[in-house]
Structure formats: C-alpha cells, structure tokens
Amino acid sequence: MKKAILVLEGGAMRSLYTSGVLDVLMDNNIEIECTVGVSAGALTGSNYISKQRGRTANINIEYCNDPKYIGVRAIKNNKGLVGFDYLFGEISKYQVPFDEKTYQESKQKFYIGATNCLTGKTEFFEKNKGDTYKILQASSSMPIVSNIVEIDDKPYLDGAIECNIPIEWAKQQGYEKIVIVLTRDKEYRKQELTNNMKKVYNLRYKKYPELVKTICNKPQKYNETVEEINKLEAEGKAFVIRPQKPIEVSRLEKNKEKLKALYQQGVTEMTERLEDLKKYLEASC
C-alpha cells in the first residue's frame, strides 16, 4: 500500500473521467493509503475502495437514460432529479451490487465530504462510521435539484459546495505524497454567479444563510484552489491527473457515447502517466 492521499474532485457525470483513472490504478494494484472524495468523487472513490473495477462507468453509462435514475420518476420518488433510492436500492443491491463487505473491511482509509447547511462548511465522514449510503447521498445531493439529507438531525448537501477539491483537508492529514484527480482541464475556471442565480439560492435556502454565502463564494474558492494545486504540482509536492482537453460532458449527461469517450479518456491518460505516478509514489521526499 502506498503511503499517500488520493484527492477526488466532484463533477457529477464528469466523474466518468475519474472512473477511468481509478480503474487503471486497480488494474495495476496501486492501493493508496487514504482517499478523500466529495460528491461524484466520493461515489467513484467508494468503488475504488470496494475494488469494483468498472462499476462507476457501468452504472452511469447503462442507467443514464433511466428515468428512475435521472429524470421524471426520480423526481416523483425522491423529490429530486437524481434517484438515490434507485441507485442505493435496486441498482446497488441487485443490478450492479456494491461489495459492501470488501468496502468495510478494506485497510484503506476513506473519507466522504458533505456540506453542513447550518455552517456552510464541509464535514468529512470516515468509512465505517455511519450509514454509507446516506453519507454518499448527502455528499452527492446537488443544490436546487436534490433534497437536503439529514444525518444525525443535521442538514447536509453536496460536499462540493464549499470544498469542490478537498486539497486543504488532505494537506492537514500529514501525507507527504498527494495524488489529485481533477475533472476539468488546466485552463478551466468557474465564472461568478449571476445576480439572478444568487436570488434563486437566497430564496431556496433562506433558512440557511451560511450555506448561501458559501454557494455564492464557490467560484472564487474553486479558482483559488486550482491555483494552489498548480503551485503544488509545479513544486513537485502533488501529482495531478486531469483531462488534457476541455470536457464536453454536462453534469447530468445522457449521451452514452460521450460518457464512454470520457471514461476511455481517463483510462488512456492515466495509462500514459502510470510510470510517472509510480516514480512519484516511490520517490523519497
């Protein structure tokens, strides 16, 4: 097992890129001691911990057009655009079973980030401490299109709201080696929210003013985080794998060919950099 921390960005269906990257790690028996993910990064990371190669890609590609997963039936059953009851119920129990035994017994550490709506801050839940599906749902519940999730009587939403790339938390864990998987190309930066969107968030979450502040500050925080990551990469303090060209897959993409291509892009680009990653992980600091 490699003494390092693996940081996984969110990005909804853009996580097909991350899935390809992690499948290459599994193919080459590269186990990183600690993994942290938010939103779709957490969902994808859970399959890395359970050692289920291809599971993320299989679900998102095969079920992207299923209205019970994303669409009308999901809204009816979940009051949100994503069918978490279907994902963690029928799909994870019967169609594409999640290997919870391997997940729970893994010696790898795994943390899932979710945003506390009361504080607007990300909290990190450790594997084996709490309801795995409930925590993953909270981490992946995008604002506006998903319901708030209650954990221990506290309201949570998408882990990527405050901490889209949990690099600062990762640095605090004391690992000298940091591997970061991003779902945007190097030139990408978030645009400031329009006044209309700010009004939408203020109206929707008027009970949670700290959450609204965090949402409105997200573009600036994200862009600052990307600059920090670029600095760490340039100094040799982090290994970063990111798409080499702009991603043309939407958050809730339904085009299977686009999703397959993005997954293959992750596989190809990680394979091309595999030897560099091995050298980084094995080099002394």
Q: Report the alpha-carbon distance of residue 149 to residue 129 in Å, rounded.
A: 17
Q: Mean pLDDT over residues 109-116, rounded?
A: 97
Residue 285 has pLDDT above 60, yes or no: no
CA distances to 54, 60, 72, 82, 254 from 65, in Å: 18, 9, 11, 12, 6
Residue 72 has pLDDT above 70, yes or no: no
| Contact between 177 and 2 (Cβ < 8 Å) | yes
Q: How many CB atoms lie within 10 A of CB 283?
A: 9
Of residues 71 and 87, which shows the higher confidence score? 87
| Contact between 135 and 159 (Cβ < 8 Å) | no
Residue 212 has pLDDT above 90, yes or no: yes
In which band, very low, low, confident or very high, does the pLDDT at 76 lie, cut at 50, 70 and 90? low
pLDDT the model gives residue 22: 98
- The model's pLDDT over 31-40, given as tens digits with 9 standing for 90+, comes to 999 999 999 9
In which band, very low, low, confident or very high, does the pLDDT at 70 lie, cut at 50, 70 and 90? confident
In which band, very low, low, confident or very high, does the pLDDT at 4 lie, cut at 50, 70 and 90? very high
pLDDT the model gives residue 284: 66
pLDDT the model gives residue 78: 67
| Contact between 103 and 127 (Cβ < 8 Å) | yes
Using the Cα atoms of residue 272, residue 273, residue 276 and residue 281 in order, give the sign of their dihedral.
Answer: negative
pLDDT the model gives residue 79: 65
In which band, very low, low, confident or very high, does the pLDDT at 136 lie, cut at 50, 70 and 90? very high
Residue 75 has pLDDT above 80, yes or no: no
Share of residues in the chain with pLDDT > 70 (%): 97
For residue 53, what are its two tokens? Answer: 């190669």
- The model's pLDDT over 228-277, given as tens digits with 9 standing for 90+, comes to 999 999 999 999 999 999 999 988 888 999 999 999 999 999 999 999 99
Tell me, rounded to whole angstroms, the distance of Cα 96 from its chain centroid: 19
